[in-house]
Each structure stands twice: as structure tokens, then as C-alpha cells.
Amino acid sequence: MKNILLLIFFLLTFPTLSFSKTITGKIISVADGDTITILNNHKQQTKIRLYGIDTPEKGQAYGKKAKKFTASLTAGKQVSVKIYNTDRYGRSVGVVFVSGTNVNEEIVRAGYA
């Protein structure tokens, strides 16, 4: 019984970790430091909000630099995105990988998030 309660607690507490999927595509747009758009093989666009990070907005200090850094890591490149959720604006929320490198972590490591 204790294990069942623990499992239920885990599933309710971390639902996004339980139901993730991976999508792939080419980066066609970098809106800001934490929002990109990919185009998949079927020519469908998906707007991605990078999971677990927040970068300055365009009008804020370092906003343009954060966008430029994200673009330097991703623009025009093939990526895979592990999707965890959808935000209130309808964007998929996920972790972006370019050639095995976790882009979300690199943005934090560089100090832009």
C-alpha cells in the first residue's frame, strides 16, 4: 500500500516527466532567448518554449544578447526536443538538443538564464 501511494504521489507531482515525447526538426526561428520554432519533415511548425529556464525579454537588459546566444547554438540546425508540457500560450515546452548537447543547460551555463 505504501508503494502504491508513493507511486500515485510521484505521478501526480511530476506528470510532465511521465508523459514526454520527442520531436525533431530544423530551427527556423529564434523569437528570444527561450523560445524557438522548429519545422519538422512534414513541414509543420512547432513553437517551443525551453523547459526550466527563463531568459530576459527583448526589451530587457541582456535580452538581445540572450537571443543571439540561443541563435548561435540553434539557428538553422537540426534538433531534437523532449517535450514535457504545453504552456498557456499553446507552445510546447521542452528540452532542446543539438548533436547531443543540451541547449537549455548551455544557456544557463553561459549566464543568460
Alpha-carbon distances of 35 from 1, 22, 84, rounded to whole Å: 43, 17, 15
Per the residue annotation, which of 57, 88, 106, 109 is the catalytic one?
57
88 is catalytic: no
106 is catalytic: no
Per the residue annotation, which of 91, 105, 106, 109 is the catalytic one?
91
109 is catalytic: no
Residue environment code for 53-71, b if the CB has 16+ CB neighbours within 10 A, otherwise e = bebbeeeeeebeebbebbb
Per the residue annotation, which of 49, 88, 105, 106 is the catalytic one?
49
- Sole residue written with cell 505504501: 2
Task: List residues with catalytic annotation.
Answer: 49, 57, 91
